[in-house]
Structure 1
């Protein structure tokens, strides 16, 4: 296998590891959201989203540090990237709710699944170098 093929294979598997960690963090995010709505049906979506984000953040950082990129990385940089993703997530959530498209857990599901590509590139190019 030549060098270019090894590099491509390495990127391919890293992207897959990122996706796996992202799926796990997303499952945590959405599960926490669902759990909060189960116990507090009228809790504001943005509050639920913030609680779920906070818990999923640690799952994501630990997974990317130890599994995806296998380098220490900066928790503060990752927090910045994650907060940017969270802002984008909440902007999307705002528009989804105010457009009357969806509410509650379904609105959080759609907005949360819309952010991972941004997070991958910023993590790879800046956080875990």
Structure 2
């Protein structure tokens, strides 16, 4: 029971840190798309991802997992999530009439479960 509570707490902290990083990601991407008319949503997504990665790494090291873990492994996890994010974004932009920011929001919110499992079981093990 104690182990389950510990895992639930870790998942909650992951969600909070990830939520903060996702908010940074979406705010940065939205600002870039808003300020730079004609900017590719993919370029905005790359810049926003890098900003959010720094927030995420710091938060997961100090709040979620409370250990250093491997920054390189976590970058691989984050980059894999980012690749999935971009695949989803490209797919939605190709086959739906969704506005760029709506598609970007959906693709960004779809990735966290996979990221948690990879971070928990590999990067911060």
TM range (shorter): over 0.9
Q: 2:40 aligns with which of 35, 44, 53?
A: 44
Query: TM-score of the superposition, structure 1-length normalised?
Result: 0.94
Which aligned segments of 4 or more residues in structure 1 are displaced greater than 6 angstroms? none
5+ long unaligned stretches in structure 1: none
Q: Is the 8 A contact 1:96 1:103 kept in 2?
A: no
Which residue of 1 is the match for residue 90 of structure 2?
Answer: 94
- CA RMSD, aligned part only? 0.7
Match in the other structure for 2:51: 55
Q: Distance in 1 between the 2:39 and 2:109 partners?
A: 21
What is the match of residue 34 of structure 1? 30
Deviation at 1:100, TM superposition (A): 2.2
Could you tell me how far apart the structure 2 residues matched to 1:109 and 1:42 are?
18
2:54 is paired with a residue whose SS is helix
Shift of 1:48: 0.5
Q: How many residues align?
A: 125
How far apart are residue 103 of structure 1 and its match?
2.8
**2:8 is equivalent to residue 7 of structure 1:** no
Partner of 2:78: 82
Say which of 19, 26, 34 aligns to 2:15: 19
Deviations 1:1-49 (A, max 9, x none): xxxx111110010000000000000000000011101211311011010
Residues 25-84 of structure 1 deviation map (CA, whole Å, 9 limit, x = unaligned): 000000001110121131101101001001000000000000000011111000000010
Q: 1:105 aligns with which of 93, 101, 114?
A: 101
> What are the ranges of 5 or more consecutive residues in structure 2 without an aligned counterpart?
none
